[in-house]
Amino acid sequence: MPKFTILSRVGAYVDYTCQVEADTAEEVDKSAPKRWRADAAAEKAEAFRKGR
């Protein structure tokens, strides 16, 4: 798996770094965002029906 170093800068003098491992493109579930949008739409529709 590829490793990445992420640099986060807070203010002018403080830097934080962390290393993360990412899956390869073949291992990523590409249908997940579509499911998340569908779940969010269903929750929104349910809230609308309940009159929130």
Evaluate if residue 48 carries a pLDDT over 70.
yes
Whole-number pLDDT of residue 27 = 65
> And the tokens for 45?
């529709």
Report domain extents, the chain.
3-49
pLDDT in tens, 12-45: 676 778 888 876 666 667 788 888 899 999 989 9
Predicted structure pTM score: 0.43
> And the tokens for 32?
């997940």
Whole-number pLDDT of residue 26 = 63
Q: Is residue 6 within a helix (H) or strand (E), and if so which, with residue range?
A: strand 3-10
Phi and psi (nearest 5°) for 21? -110, 135
Whole-number pLDDT of residue 3 = 79
Whole-number pLDDT of residue 25 = 61
Whole-number pLDDT of residue 50 = 86
